[in-house]
Structure 1
Amino acid sequence: MATTNGKKDISLKNIISSYPTWAHPSVHYHSVDWEMLRDTFQGERQVKEKGHVYLPQPSGLDDGEYDLYLENSTFYNMTNRTVGALVGTIFRRNPVISNLPKKLQKKVRKITKTNQSLRSFTRRCAKEVVHMGRYGVLVDMPAGGGDPYLTGYVTEAILDWSYQMVGDREVLTEVLLMEAFLPDHASGSTSGQRSYKIRIRALRLVSGRYEQHVYDSASTQVYPDVNRVPDQVIVPTNRGTPLRYIPFIIFGTESNSPDVERSSMLDIAQMNISHFRSYAHLEHGRFYTGLPVYYVSKGMGEGKGEYTIGASVVWEVGPGENAGIIEFNGNGLKFLENAIATKEAHISTLGGRLIGVTTSSVSESDNQVSMKDRNEQALLLNVSMALDEGFTQVLQWWASWQDVQIAEAEEISIEFNKDFMLKEAAAREFRAIQQMYQDGILPIEVVYDYLKKAEVIPDWLELEEFKKLLVSKNSFPNNPDAEANSRGFPDRKTELELEEAEKDRKSQEQIAESQAALALKQARTPKPAGAGAS
């Protein structure tokens, strides 16, 4: 039922100038940080469009000089690179879904209203959580019936929320979500004009029953009044029974709750802006000092009006007259370069080696490096665990709305990658694992898990299939057992035993034949005269 999806939701905050007064205090407090996080992620064009917000006009520069100052500056987008690297690390291995009913296995390939796959949708959720600190997911159903689907809401679209104690538990009783939509008459426009309006979708528990109250705005740039009678009231049901809970989860870096958490990327975004300002100063200085300045004495210039510069040009000066070149050789720009390098090191420390930058020095002990590794994994581990918990609940809701028994739905789970810093396994490690398996120290399940983490086994190869391949001689064409099997023997050992038995049989036959021949020869040989009588 919610229409927020894809690229539209990122620009929700840009549609209107400010949040409504009734929005949660945390929304008003964090809105400036959210704007900086979005702008730095979008890159140089977005940052420069904000002009004075991120690059104040230095005193002494007029507007024309400031425009040049801004144009010559460079924004190196470390925020985007860091977010992309961290999310890529989480999805280095596909999430593993367990106990999903067979009839739902194809449906996860189109789990949103816009036919996104579950993997694509979870990746977007992870990106928002890493970048902005939170992301909302609603399990919804078409008004006219049909399969349920997932809808995502960025942090700027989650305007207000409330909890109440129900028994001994704190329960989410209200969430107000902002959506941007095109009126029906504008959705088919080919003029390129898009006049979006604001819709508020309020998810509420009313007397213990889940309802959606929809409020449409009368015009653009205006929030609808949420204190009036809603334009539409929707009561989602499961098998004809209204729900007793709000099927909405907020994913965060620390816990899955609507409470706003400070984004872990905020420090990097702020340092990215500081780096941008230092770079602007450096480029401004280079612009004015990078080229040499030619000068001549006053008398030499009289009557000439112009000078030609080149390797084959010679200037003749009269007695007492001088010509020369002034070049910048001070240390001012060097200080700026050092400042930029320092800020880049700080950003690398915040982002860590997960973005491919090694910041450890030779003076660091093994203990310090190990501690840094753990710190770098903390954010990813928190996000991965939040995704496990949140999407397990989401999938259970989603499945229970499709004629799956509650007990069966509660067995569904999903697990995201948590092996973030695994280095390439060496040949010695492989041999050790193999030997421990052959000696009966490690079970095949541990070997399988190790090989999968080391990316020797692909994600699509499941444990049971791996076991089947392992016992199949056809899987190892160069293996002695496989070669023996191709010759009709169960394994090489059996073939050798049969070969030895065949050799023994032939040897025994040869001995028996020799003995029989000797006995026959002796029987045919006539005895000498007088032999045998005394």
Structure 2
Amino acid sequence: MTFDISVHHPEYDAFAPSWELLRNAFEGEDDIKRAGQKYLPLKNGLAKLMEDGSHRALAQAAYDAYKARAEFPDLVALTVRGAVGTILDQAAEIELPPELEPLREKATRDGLTLEALHRRIATEVMLTGRYGLLPGIASDGSPYLAGYIAESIINWDQDEENVADFVVLDESGYERDRATNEWKAVEKYRECFVEDGRYGARVWTKGKEGWEVGEVVEASDRKQRPLGFLPMVFVGSNDLTPDPDDVPLYGLAKLSVRIYQLDADLRQTLHYTSEPTPMVSGYDDPQEAIKNGQVPQGIGGTNIWVLPKDGKGEFLEFSGAGASAQHDEIQKAYDRAVMFGAQMLAEKGNANESGEAKRVRLDSQHSTLKGIAMTSASGLEKALRNVAIWIGADPEKVKVTPNLDFFDHDLDAQTITAIVSAWQSAAISWKSAFDRLKAGGVVPEDRTADEELALMDQEQFGRDADPGDVLPDRQPDPEQIDK
């Protein structure tokens, strides 16, 4: 049987519809509407007209108007951006050996810094629950990291010890013909594998005669020793294993589509019923009356209505509860969307809740964010360590430490007083109090404990103070700063 490089892993096909939904929902209304009936099915009446060849154009025009009036809510994009902003509000601390320092400012071939690459990883994992990092060495010998979205990682496998040893990456896209300056679509896949303890890769390109297979390029370190493992790193929402993880915001995307469908129906209702329509009655033969010009053709102060005996003129105007019911259903869907998405970002709670109660509540709400913060940082760290091994640097000197404290942005006056009181009563050290105040945004991020103590000595403890100033009962002990 012929080897088919384009074959998908079964798990890929199982998750692909979810990834497509999230990708479309993230990109927004234009992408959703381009998908047509995939997200907004035809109403029954239009479906029957669409089946009738003689009315197909009329039905299509009616559907296009129905779709154009609908509004798709931007919930997924807002939640993803808000979540990533929360995760990376404080950038991860990245430690590198000297050999890898150039990656800090240029980690990818398209010029992303390590911090920007971390943001891209977190965004993709938040969106689809999956991202791939493949280390490489450029022709000039400099290392880099190549990123692959979930849809590009089409196949993978593991050895007997459940270690990944095979992956196929979709690198298809448009390429420019330098001779003609025209762009053309190219179908291309990169196959990476470990065979006989040696890591190699080759590129498959679809040509007019079928697949064209490039030469296998084996990787070796700077001492010309073969690289004995697959350096590809799979970053998921839960772990770093090759199989896809759950899509974090799948429920929110489904609700967004539901709101879009409900909104289409509501706007259809309003379109046909909200505008008052004049109506006259009393004609024995309405068609003849229209033909003879007896029926009023306009409204307003310059138009005189002459009606037959016992005739009546009035406006037809919607007054039922149908539109209100549709609006209520949309609001309920929005409320559920808040539960699925915005709850992760919410910081408001009961005004009387204690600091510890708030911490427990927010810790629960932010569990998904913390998981993604940890896996995105761990994945970046593992990829950088693989680069270090490849170029002969010390992988143990690579560390990526994410910020996991998402709720201590602001401390209220009561909490600040409690921290200071605990320090003054010797319940906690000056260093502990300082760290807590710094985490809460009371102290600038770039200020050290020594600098803060020096400022306190000058500003509060009498070097230039007036003799009558009342000083705090307890000054910070310099020996406590490192405790």
Query: Is 291-300 or 322-331 further displaced after alignment?
Result: 291-300
5 Å-filtered alignment, 1:492-531, equals none
1:186 paired to 2:169? no
Q: Secondary structure at the match of 1:114?
A: coil
Report matched runs for 1:71-110 at 5 Å: 71-98=68-95, 100-101=96-97, 104-105=100-101, 107-110=103-106
Please list the CA deviations of residues 471-509 of structure 1 after superposition, one character each: whole Å capped at 9, or x if unmatched: 435x77633444269xxxxxx99xxxxxxxxxxxxxxxx
| Alignment of 1:279 onto 2:263 | yes
What SS is found at the alignment partner of 1:75? coil
List aligned pairs for 1:25-44, cutoff 5 A.
Answer: 25-44=10-29
Bigger CA drift: 273-282 or 102-111?
102-111
Is the alpha carbon distance of 1:372 and 1:434 closer, same or farther for their aligned partners in structure 2, counting shifts above 3 Å? closer
Asked if 2 retains the 8 angstrom alpha-carbon contact of 1:81 and 1:355, the reply is no
Q: Offset of 1:113 from its aligned partner?
A: 0.9
Is contact 1:174–1:203 with CA below 8 Å preserved after alignment?
yes
2:338 alignment partner in structure 1? 348
Structure 2 residue identity aligned to 1:186: D
Measured after TM superposition, the shift of residue 303 of structure 1 is 2.7
Distance of 1:368 and 1:323 partners within structure 2: 65
Quickly say closer, same or farther: Cα 1:314–1:223, change in 2 above 3 A.
farther
How far the C-alpha of 1:450 sits from its partner, in A, is 1.9
| Greater Cα offset, 444-453 or 274-283 | 444-453
The one-letter amino acid paired with 1:422 is D
Aligned match of 2:52: none
Change (3 A) 1:187 1:481: farther
Distance 1:448 1:112 in 2: 38
CA distance in 2, matches of 1:232, 1:396: 27
- 1:117 and 2:113 matched: yes
Partner residue in 1 for 2:372: 383
Tell me the residue number matched to 1:149. 144
SS in 1 for 2:45: coil
Conserved in 1, the CA contact under 8 Å of 2:408 and 2:441? Answer: no
TM-score of the aligned structures, taking structure 1 as reference length: 0.76
- What are the within-5 Å matches in structure 2 for residues 104-503 of structure 1? 104-105=100-101, 107-142=103-138, 144-165=139-160, 169-183=161-175, 186=177, 190=181, 193-218=182-207, 224=211, 230-239=213-222, 240-299=224-283, 302-304=292-294, 306-310=296-300, 315-356=305-346, 373-404=362-393, 406=394, 409-422=395-408, 424-459=410-445, 461=446, 466-473=448-455, 478-483=459-464
Question: How far is the alpha carbon of 1:138 from its aligned partner?
Answer: 0.9
Name the amino acid aligned to 1:208.
G
Seen in structure 2, the aligned counterparts of structure 1 residues 186 and 445 have a Cα distance that, compared at 3 Å, is farther
Which runs of 5 or more structure 2 residues have no equivalent in the other structure?
Answer: 47-58, 284-288, 473-483
Task: Report the Cα offset of residue 318 of structure 1.
Answer: 4.4
- Deviation for aligned residue 1:371: 7.4
- Cα displacement (A) at 1:393: 1.7
Structure 1 residue identity aligned to 2:188? R
Cα distance, 1:149 vs structure 2: 0.6
Distance 1:372 1:318, change over 3 A: farther
**Normalization by structure 2: what TM-score?**
0.83
Ranges in structure 1 where 5+ consecutive residues have no aligned partner: 1-18, 486-491, 494-534
| Aligned partners of 2:438 and 2:444 also within 8 Å | yes
Tell me the number of residue pairs that the alignment of Structure 1 and Structure 2 aligns. Answer: 445
Report SS of the residue matched to 2:187.
strand
Q: Which shows bigger deviation, 31-40 or 151-160?
A: 31-40
What do you get for the CA RMSD once the two structures are aligned? 3.2
Q: How many angstroms does 1:93 deviate by?
A: 0.9
Return the letter of the residue paired with 1:390.
Answer: G
Aligned partners of 1:266, 1:310: CA distance in 2, in Å?
53
Q: Mean alpha-carbon deviation: is it higher for 105-114 or for 116-125? A: 105-114
1:149 alignment partner AA: Y
- Look up the SS of the partner of 1:232 in the other structure: coil
Deviation at 1:368, TM superposition (A): 11
Matched residues in 1 for 2:267 and 2:350: separation?
Answer: 30
CA distance in structure 2 between the aligned counterparts of 1:471 and 1:375, rounded to whole angstroms: 35
Q: Distance in 2 between matches of 1:477 and 1:427?
A: 24
Distance 1:308 1:50, change over 3 A: same
Worse overlay, 267-276 or 281-290: 267-276
Per-residue CA deviations over 1:83-103 (Å, capped at 9, x if unaligned) read: 1111111011111124x3356
Percent identity of equivalent pairs: 24
Give 1:214 deviation, angstroms: 1.9
CA distance in 2, matches of 1:43, 1:156: 18
Equivalent pair of 2:174/2:185 in contact (CA under 8 Å): yes
Deviation of residue 104 (structure 1)?
A: 4.3
Larger-Rg structure = 1
Partner-residue secondary structure (3-state), 1:287: helix
User: 1:287–1:393: structure 2 CA closer, same or farther, 3 Å change rule?
Assistant: same
Amino acid aligned to 2:218: V
